[in-house]
Chain A
Amino acid sequence: MFKLFKRNRRTTSEYIFDNINILIMLSICAITIYPIWYVIVNSLNDGMDAMKGGSIYWWPREFSLENYKAVFNNQGILTSFGVTVAKTVIGTIIHVFFTAMVAYAISRKDLYGRKLYMMIGIVTMFFSGGLIPYFLLIRDLGLFDNFLVYIIPTMFNFFHLIIFVSFFRELPTSLEEAAKMDGANDFTIFIRVIIPLSMPVIATIALFQGVYQWNDYFAGVIFVNDPSLQPIQTYLYKVVAESSSNQMMMNASGTIATKTVTSQSIKLATMVVTTLPIVLVYPFLQKYFVKGMLIGSVKG
């Protein structure tokens, strides 16, 4: 395979192993990518044509952008996209800011009561009330059918706090002290000194939380009935799990010639549009989240 010409100082068995290994790895990559490729190809194929049977495996049989047009003309889908974008952007910013702020205070060795605060957090890692008491709490707080249900209950995470704390501990204290001499209070120090120094860890947590916010469908399923507050994942969940695909078709039919698109082809196009933003972002943040995972696993 790749190493055919570089057969230097390796035993035959090692040589065979290397090539088999490369083969295994390439197969894993192919198995990983193919289902996604399949969805993309089929979403770019004419919906009615696909229904005729004979699956489309490698390339669109009858290339068409109608499915995507139907997605972007469907008011329900667009509203749901808006909700997802809003909750991801707002939810992630607030989460990162709030969790980092608490983490900074707790990371300071001179914080009075630090051990107690830490204990209060550690208990939450091992014990929780479970689904039903949580559900009742959200109801009692009046967060049903309320956009804030995506923001407030997710604005803090103790695992993320631990990742922040271990990062803040490594920061040099000289800048903090200099700012203190200038009369800055601890909150100002956090904003002006700590945040600019912490971009790597902020990128990590923002990615983790951003992915969670973007992909979560359950909050939308149990806490929200209002379709205009439903994120795109919840919308897709209803289409996939409750097989209400007919209804989706009806939604689309008002805006587009229904000759070419089917509920299935719109579903595939929606899936592609839903997944694309994250898939485009994560490779650039790879070096950060690998580090974050490591801290999270060692200390967590």
Chain B
Amino acid sequence: MDVKIQQPEQQLIEPLVKPGAKSKRFKKAAKRVNNQKYLQIMALLGVVWMFIFNYIPMYGLIIAFKEFSIIQSISEAPWVGLMQFKEFLQDENFLIVLKNTLGMSLIKLIIAFPLPIIFALLLNELTSLKLKKAVQTISYLPHFISWVVLGGILTTWLADIGVINDVLLGLGMIDERTNFLASPDNFWAIVILSDIWKELGWSAIIYLAAIAGVSTELYEAATIDGANRFQKMWHVTLPAIMPTIAILFILAVSGVLNSNFDQILILKNSLNESASNVIDTYVYQLGIQNARYSYATAVGLMKAIIAFILLLSANKIMKKINGTSLF
């Protein structure tokens, strides 16, 4: 009944709105927005937040091309073109921070990237489900420990009276006690090993989920063909999780200029600085501690641009090699 009465009314309204297609479309849009005003407010609050906390800092990047000091506003500061960038290229620390950043990242990429994959594959082969669950839960534990606390453990262990010295002395691998964090020699190894310790289990989650998603039919077919467990792991599981590996590899490559800031800041000290100063800590040191805002921003911007180019090229190369890509 109701429906029948409403229909002619709607037909009456439509011709009224007709004059001019543009204004009709505009009115329709306005009506639609008005009908969902609560929804629009909810979405726009997020947009406003992003405008303030993401887009205003992006605008702030222009100070990399200026000589900004704390007494002026950003727009008042004089333009200096590429001066800050040129200065960084001639900076005596340029090569040191670049070497430390790339060195640690590339070793991480070679050693620390494959380990969670191997860990996930081995974990998947455990026949006891209870053991599997227990190992998984324990392996997530270090991810929840803060870098500050882990830094506290590391400084205790690596000190000259610490556990590491005890063990190495006992094994006869060193002759006298040393504080390992007080020299640049071991810094990279400490960073990479502690990173593996902290994130091995957590990074394996994604691979475990990918392995769980492999169709059981594939394994059954392989069994019928007479494949043993290693062959199944190599010929079924590994190819099946290859797309996941590829995407994470692209992200890892594009992140080689990122260091684990929280980690390095806590382990870094003046005695190991020649091995521990990376781009991120250098930006912090220059910008926040020495108040050289424009220069530090230029260093950070240069890093971001190279990282973005790396992301695009890694994406392109992976697309050519095996057809997986981020975008």
Contacts and interface: CB of A to CB of B under 8 A. Distances in A.
Interface in B37-58: 38-43, 45-47, 49-50, 52-58
B209 A294 contact: yes
Given A3-B127, A22-B126, A190 B58 contact: no
Contacts of B166: 55
Nearest to A238: B148
A279 B138 CA distance: 10
A33 B228 CA distance: 34
Interface of B: 29, 32-33, 36, 38-43, 45-47, 49-50, 52-61, 63, 74, 119, 122-123, 125-128, 131, 134-142, 144-149, 151-153, 155-157, 161-163, 166, 197, 200-201, 205-206, 208-209, 228-230, 244, 247-248, 261-262, 265-266, 268-269, 280, 283-284, 287-288, 293, 296-297, 300-301, 303-304, 308, 311
Contacts of A26: 135
Nearest to A239: B152
B296 A131 contact: yes
A215 B148 contact: yes
A186 B42 contact: yes
A270 B248 CA distance: 36
Given A18-B125, A155-B49, A278-B144, A32 B209 contact: no
Given A32-B201, A130-B301, A155-B49, A137 B43 contact: no
A133 B113 CA distance: 32
Contacts of A274: 146, 148-149
A26 B156 CA distance: 25
Contacts of A282: 140-141, 144
A293 B206 CA distance: 7
Contacts of B147: 215, 217
A255 interface: no
Given A102-B45, A217-B147, 8 more contacts: A18-B127, A55-B162, A105-B39, A105-B40, A132-B283, A134-B60, A156-B46, A297-B206
Contact of B38 (A14, A129, A131, A187): A187
A35 B157 contact: yes
A112 interface: yes
B124 to A, nearest CB: 10
Nearest to A2: B128
A158 B46 CA distance: 9
B301 A128 contact: no
B200 A106 contact: no
Nearest to A223: B288
A144 interface: no
A26 B244 CA distance: 27
A159 to B, nearest CB: 13
A18 B127 CA distance: 8
B117 to A, nearest CB: 14
Nearest to A286: B137
Closest 9 CB pairs of A and B: A129-B57, A133-B60, A102-B46, A215-B146, A130-B300, A105-B43, A105-B42, A133-B57, A186-B38
B206 A236 contact: no
Given A28-B135, A102-B42, A130-B57, A121 B63 contact: no
A136 interface: yes
Contacts of A128: 54, 57-58, 304
A269 B251 CA distance: 38
Given A25-B131, A32-B139, A279-B141, A137 B53 contact: yes
B247 to A, nearest CB: 8
Interface in A123-156: 123-124, 126-137, 141, 153, 155-156
Contacts of B63: 132-133, 136
Nearest to A129: B57
A118 to B, nearest CB: 10
A132 B300 contact: yes
A198 interface: no
B36 A111 contact: yes
A35 B144 CA distance: 14
B43 A106 contact: yes
Given A32-B197, A111-B39, A127-B58, A158 B144 contact: no
